[in-house]
Structure 1
Amino acid sequence: MTTAAGSPFTEALVSEDATSEYPARMRRFGQLVGSWAARGHRLDEATGEWHDREFTWIVAFILDGRAVQDIEVVETEQGKRETVATGVRVYDPLAGAWRVSFFSPKTGEYCHLIATSYRGGIRQDGTQTDERPIRWNFSEITADSYVWDGWVSNDGGSNWELTEHVEATRIT
C-alpha cells in the first residue's frame, strides 16, 4: 500500500481550502498555508548553548478544511530530506479556540496547546512532554513572512525563558 501524493489516503486527508462554516476563524492558521523557508536558533537547555537551524515548514488544510497540519522537513547530512515533526491545529467552535498538538518522535517532543489571537498574531499556550508550561507565539505575520518564538516556564508560568526563535519567508 502506498500513501504517496494522489493516493486515497492523501486525497482523503488534504483539503484544497478551509471549510466555509467559520471562514474568519479558519484564517488564523489558514494564512500560513503554503511552504516556508525557516531559519532560527534553538536553546539546548542542558548546555545553555544556542544552535542554528534551518528547515522547510509546509502547511496544508486537512479534514475537509476543518484543520491545518504542518510538517517540518530538514535536510540530513547525507543530503536527503527528512520529516521530523508535525503539528495539527483544529478549530473548536464550542471553545472558540484552536486545539494544537505537536509531535516530534525523533526528539521525543509531544506538546498540546490552545491557540488564540494575541496582539495581531497567534499565541499558543500549553504544556510540553515534561509537563512544563510552554508558550509559542507567531508574530509579525505578513503574506510572505512571520516570526515564531518558543518560551518555557520553570515556575508554573510566572516567568518565561526564550528557548527558540524562528524567522520564515514564504516559498509558495
Structure 2
Amino acid sequence: MTDGARTSPAERLAGLMVSDGPREEFAEAFASFAPLIGSWDLEVKWYDDAGEVVRETKGEWHFAWALDGRAVADIWITPSRAQRAVDGDGEWGLTIRLHDPELGAFRSTWMGPKHAMVMTFIGHPGANSITLEAREPKSAKTRWIFTDITPTSFHWRNEDEAADGTITVRQRFTATRSRL
C-alpha cells in the first residue's frame, strides 16, 4: 500500500489492523497466543443444561497479530462460510486481546454483532492452556478455555460456573489448522 496506489477503506483498515508479528516488547507476554496465529477449521458443538449436544456445525477461526503488534485479534465464524448454505446464518465474533503488565494478565473483549453482545474477559496462560474469565458475569461465571494447544490443533470450551460451583459446558470447538 505504500506504492501510491489507491486503496479502498477496507484495504486501508485491514492493513492498519493486522501486523506481521508481535512488537519485540510484547513477544514474551503473548507467547501463549503465538501458536494460535493463523487459520483454523472448527467442529462446533452446543450443549443444553443436561450436557447433551443440541447442535453441531463446522466453523472457522482466524488469529493474527494486530494493532502494530501490540495485540492479538481473532475472528470466529460459525457456521463456516462454506457451511452457511446448509446451516444458515450464524455469528461472526471479533476478539481483541492486549497484555496489561500492571495486571499481569490479558484484557480481552469479544464482540458478537448478530446479537449485539460484548463480553470482557481477563485471561491467564497456563500449562498448554489459556483461560479467559468474564469480567461481568450475569447469573454465572463464564470462562472460555483453550486447551491442548499444538501447532496443528487445539480445543476450546465455553463454560458457566453457577454460585454453587456447578459447571455447565455451553460450547466446545475442536480446531485443526486450516490447509488454506
TM-score (norm 1): 0.85
User: What count of residue pairs does the alignment treat as equivalent?
Assistant: 168
Tell me: CA distance 1:83–1:64, structure 2 relative to 1, closer, same or farther (3 Å).
farther
In structure 1, C-alpha distance between the alignment counterparts of 2:48 and 2:115, rounded to whole Å? 12
Deviation at 1:118, TM superposition (A): 2.3
In structure 2, C-alpha distance between the alignment counterparts of 1:79 and 1:159, rounded to whole Å? 31
The structure with the greater share of residues assigned to strand is 1
Tell me: CA distance 1:81–1:109, structure 2 relative to 1, closer, same or farther (3 Å).
closer
In structure 2, C-alpha distance between the alignment counterparts of 1:82 and 1:162, rounded to whole Å? 20
Higher alpha-carbon Rg: 2
Deviation at 1:169, TM superposition (A): 0.5
Q: Identify unmatched segments of 5+ residues in structure 1.
A: none
Identity of aligned residues (%): 24
Report the equivalent of 2:176: 169
Q: 1:70 aligns with which of 74, 78, 87?
A: 74
Amino acid at match of 1:146: F
Q: Bigger CA drift: 158-167 or 121-130?
A: 121-130
In structure 2, C-alpha distance between the alignment counterparts of 1:83 and 1:2, rounded to whole Å? 25
User: 3-state DSSP class of the match of 1:11?
Assistant: helix
Give the conservation status (yes or no) of the 8 Å contact 1:44–1:51. no
Report the equivalent of 1:61: 65
Give the conservation status (yes or no) of the 8 Å contact 2:144–2:158. yes
Amino acid at match of 2:54: W
Q: Deviations over 1:90-135 (max 9, x none)?
A: 1112211111111112134321111102232111111567463201
Task: Tell me whether 1:155 sits opposite 2:163 in the alignment.
Answer: yes
Tell me: CA distance 1:105–1:164, structure 2 relative to 1, closer, same or farther (3 Å).
same
Report the equivalent of 1:118: 126
Give the conservation status (yes or no) of the 8 Å contact 2:122–2:132. yes
Q: Identify unmatched segments of 5+ residues in structure 2.
A: 1-6
The structure with the greater share of residues assigned to helix is 2
Give the conservation status (yes or no) of the 8 Å contact 1:110–1:129. no
User: 3-state DSSP class of the match of 2:33?
Assistant: helix
